[in-house]
Structure 1
Amino acid sequence: MNKKSKLLIILLTILSLVGSLLAGCSNNNSEETAATNQTKQGSSSDEPVELTMFVDATWYPFQEWKGEIPELITKATGVKPKITVATDPKQLSLMVASGDLPDIVLSFDFQLMSDGNISLPYNEIFPKYAPNVKFDPIKELVNTVDDGNYYAIRNDFSTEKEWKENPYAHMMVPGLALRQDILKEIGNPEIKTLDDLDTVFEKVKQTHPDMTPLILNPNWTRQFFDAQFGATSGGFADQDGKLVYYLRQPSVEKSMLYVNSLYRNGYVTSENFAYTNEGQTEEMMMSEKGFGYSWTYSGADRLNSSAKDFKFVNVADPLSPNAKIYNTGVGGLGMYVTKNNKNIEATVKFLEYLYSDEGWKLAQWGVEGKDWVWNDKGYPEFKYDPQNMDTLKEKGVYWWGVPTESGVGMAISSFKEGSETTRQGEQYSKIIEFNPAIGMITPKVDSEESIIKNNIDEMVKTEITNVYLAPTEKEAIKAYDELIAKAEKIGMKDLEKWANSLYPDLKKNYEELAK
């Protein structure tokens, strides 16, 4: 073989090797491009992306992602959550401690989950993967924590402006439902004051001695009466520009003493204060053991959906010139993207849809035109019973919309002309005062302030019945004073001092944005 032939063979070999390398790179690049495209789309053309989701609420009624509405959400987003619902209130804390977290967590525990070591900030992942999403600046503010980030936009919060722009959205307030047939029996007396209410209870006690005039829902024991005296039922209250813990309000003392008077007059029973399950008290109303029932403003309508032989009406008008509802809420349930999340882009696209107007309406109300129609006045009219849990479970509607719906979105869902809920909502909307700056003051987990607050709240749970069940008003006042003394000993003044160190700046920031 001559020298020229050898050079030709070497050249062909090199070209062959280069071609193989280029083909390999081409194949690798194609695979990477396909994988990237699949991630961008959220799923392949056949299978949706599966994301694990933990629901930190043992009572949550939906245990699976199934039904017509979840399937439509998956079709729109390319994401199918795999659901696990908590079986123990402490389960999430243990998961956080172990680092064994799913892709998404639904939780009311804002302080626990708003941590950069646990969750990813919305203000980083949304601009990167969904840059067109713009949250309201006030909603960003009320969810921002000390590190300058916000890790969720919690549900059930709307700005004061949003509430005022939606006349058919009435904020959930405490309510008092009364048996309509018995009211008629005793002459449909006027109920304009607490004295009027006492008179009605006394008539029921006389005419129906086997019936308890008032049954208190264990989760809504005093809230209706707090509202009549203009009191905040928990947390902090603004008193002349300074924050005090709610126990210190003179209006709270008056409300507690009023509940004591209900007991002393025989309108509520001592057994009522031992109930812990609202299902117990609701069943008592259904079995005709009670005339009045303290619950929410939707209480009468919810009871009416179950009652067959009788109906309930709300005490719709405030019963005092001092009546007021203080809205210090900043939201509740948050959807947190954990640092364990295996597909952040798909997750953000899923959240982007649920936060959108189209998404939350589909998730909460169903298919427009088929399940509901938009009334020209500005509220939804349903073609199914939104109070029927069996229907909601079958369709998979409402509860998967709850995590991302606003306060207005939740409230307007309850609007129904002529309903008891709406009748009361229209009246109480006139006496609501907004101040979310107070709701932003929440102690960090395991901080000194958190320990003080928890200890005070636990003490109140065990000691409050000493006020309610006192045999005389004098002894009820003494029991209330002892309650305050114990709270002081635990550290209530230190808690208030800490809160007031934060309040001025938070209030200023909120008021500037609310202008």
Structure 2
Amino acid sequence: MKRKLLSLLLCAACVGTLLTGCQMTDSTEGASAAAEPESTAEGESAGTENGVEEASAGDAVKLDLYIDFTWYPTDSWSGIIPETLTEKGGVAFDVTRSADDSQLGLMIASGDLPDVIFTSNEIDRLCDSGLCYSYDELIEQYGVDWEPSAERVAIAKTHNANPEDAHFYTILQNYNTNEEWAKAKGVVPSLSCVYYRKDIWEKLGSPEMETMEDLINVCKMVQEQYPDMIPVNAGNPTWRLSPFACWYGAGNEFIYEDETSGKVAFADTTSQFYDYLKYANRLYREGFYPEENLAITNEDDAKQQAINGKCFIYEWNSRPTQLVQLNTATQANVEGAEWAAMPIPDEARTIVRANAGWSGMFISKKCKDPEAAIRMIAYMNSEEGQHLALWGREGIEYELDENGVPQFSDEWKETIKDEDEMHKKYNNSFFLCTTELDEGYTYYSGADEEVVADFSKNIDKIVNYPELAIALPVSTSDMGIIRAKLKEAREAELVKLYTAPSDEVFESSYKEYMKLLDQIGVQELNQYMTDEVAEIKKNFNF
């Protein structure tokens, strides 16, 4: 059980012993035998980072890096930032981006794995001593100067395929504590956002657009005066209609059905999700988005509708830099086009996030040089490496102000307006080991104050419950299999609900969906999550 594991994980002394003082176990000896070349720790030079001297591209170790995301913005380890990471960390990656969502699963099944893997969907399967090296054993073996915090180690271990396994195989990136977020200024957590064509809105007479009902009224005006334009783009598969789910309090996979009692539920079974579905169905029945949008599986295809002036609303991530890029791309095709972000409405409910990190790097047992891999990962997890990956070189691309916030050069600020040029010149897309807060500063630092105000409005409605992520069952467990079946079932069933032609059909389809979830085992999973969350909150002091 995960609860048993968590009780053991949070003993900092045990973690420290694992990293610095314990005698090598049998599995460690196995790793040692397989991990070629031999450690060079004794010959490390003073002043190097994790024992790695700065290397030129020609001297660097070449390793394969598999990126398990079809949407990833780049597949080239090139540009100022990757090249500098190589100089500092000693590794140059040959990057492969996943062609589809099943590709890595097939590679795992065949045992044919690349050197290093960056994934979110296959974390549970790769936290396995039969497939990957454990970080702690490699750190010990090669004398790497890196000790992740007890909390980060504990979070990583909750994904272990074997609950009794004492090792950890990754450190999940993109995480900060709620306390760190509370101290942050001028930056908003990543959320799904409604972008709308401000120039069209102004031509309509700048009607009220403060509430979800206002949005519907404005879309009716768009529909009447711009009949060739899709009022609401529901095509982006990552962000499809998700701002509305967030505003109704049902944007996370699991939410507190009753926070006082601690009862946790699969969001689709809650009244909040029902209300969201009714709103999404209303948008469809008003004719605001076509059913064909729901069949789009590639984010770029949906984005093309936006940048070619074919839609009034586009759902995407809430980042000022992405707003700038959306405007730049659209204005190249549509003269006078301007996008703006719709703030979180006042009537929005509590917006639930569950972020304890969402992806991690793994060193497979097929890795040509596990020592080089763990040293590179250790460097990229250092503060210097994290900042370099996102912000470039300190003193050149950015300077830190008195609050520790990066202030970027004029050249950086000009380049970032063009997404393609940014990837080509700087390429700060390799957020493999970075924190969520540092990533946020990348998007918000130096942004227009009015734009930041739009993104920041009603920020007090956003709440992060990391325990809802940490409690998720391992994918290979009984509860993990139920969860996978629920997620598979919802794809087809939600389309029926989105496109129901009448209230009667909607209610009938909703009842059938709830019946299907019960048959799959949603109530058992809800109870599991409730119990796990209670234990995690106690162990982590959330």
Matches of 1:359 and 1:380 in 2, distance apart? 17
- Give the residue type in structure 2 aligned to 1:407: E
| Alignment partner, residue 62 of structure 1 | 74
Could you say if the C-alpha distance between residues 43 and 369 of structure 1 is closer, same or farther in structure 2, counting changes exceeding 3 Å?
Answer: closer
| Alignment partner, residue 407 of structure 1 | 436
- Give the residue type in structure 2 aligned to 1:272: N
The 5 A counterparts of 1:278-427 are: 278-298=299-319, 300-308=323-331, 309=335, 310-320=337-347, 322-376=348-402, 378-382=405-409, 383-384=411-412, 385-395=415-425, 397-400=427-430, 402-415=431-444, 416-418=446-448, 422-427=452-457
Q: Secondary structure at the match of 1:62?
A: coil
The 5 A counterparts of 1:181-196 are: 181-196=199-214
Q: Secondary structure at the match of 1:390?
A: helix
Q: Does 1:215 align with 2:241?
A: no
- Give the residue type in structure 1 aligned to 2:103: Q
Q: Which runs of 5+ in 1 are unaligned?
A: 1-31
Q: Residue 126 of structure 1 is aligned with which of 139, 149, 152?
A: 139
Q: Secondary structure at the match of 2:388?
A: helix
Matches of 1:319 and 1:431 in 2, distance apart? 9
Decide which structure has the larger Cα Rg and report it.
1
CA RMSD of aligned residues (A): 2.8
- Give the residue type in structure 2 aligned to 1:348: I
Q: TM-score, length-normalised on structure 1?
A: 0.85
Could you say if the C-alpha distance between residues 479 and 421 of structure 1 is closer, same or farther in structure 2, counting changes exceeding 3 Å?
Answer: farther
| Alignment partner, residue 53 of structure 1 | 65
- Give the residue type in structure 2 aligned to 1:208: Y
Q: Residue 295 of structure 2 is aligned with which of 253, 257, 274?
A: 274
| Alignment partner, residue 89 of structure 1 | 101
* Deviation of the 1:354 alpha carbon: 0.8
Instruction: Give deviations 1:91-148, integer Å, cap 9, x for gaps.
Output: 3333333333333222222111111222222233335545643323332222222224
Could you say if the C-alpha distance between residues 183 and 337 of structure 1 is closer, same or farther in structure 2, counting changes exceeding 3 Å?
Answer: same
Instruction: Give deviations 1:231-252, integer Å, cap 9, x for gaps.
Output: 2342454534111111111010
* Deviation of the 1:228 alpha carbon: 1.8
Percent identity, aligned pairs only, is 25
**Native 8 Å contact 1:301 1:421 kept in 2:** no
| Alignment partner, residue 265 of structure 2 | 244
Matches of 1:277 and 1:78 in 2, distance apart? 35
**Native 8 Å contact 1:219 1:278 kept in 2:** yes
Matches of 2:76 and 2:230 in 1, distance apart? 40
The 5 A counterparts of 1:110-125 are: 110-125=123-138
- Give the residue type in structure 2 aligned to 1:229: Y
Could you say if the C-alpha distance between residues 100 and 271 of structure 1 is closer, same or farther in structure 2, counting changes exceeding 3 Å?
Answer: closer
Aligned length: 479
Q: TM-score, length-normalised on structure 2?
A: 0.81
Name whichever of 444-453 and 37-46 sits farther off. Answer: 37-46
Matches of 2:419 and 2:325 in 1, distance apart? 11
Instruction: Give deviations 1:260-318, integer Å, cap 9, x for gaps.
Output: 11122222223322322232222222232221222222364332121212101111132
| Alignment partner, residue 26 of structure 1 | none
Could you say if the C-alpha distance between residues 494 and 205 of structure 1 is closer, same or farther in structure 2, counting changes exceeding 3 Å?
Answer: same
**Native 8 Å contact 2:305 2:311 kept in 1:** yes
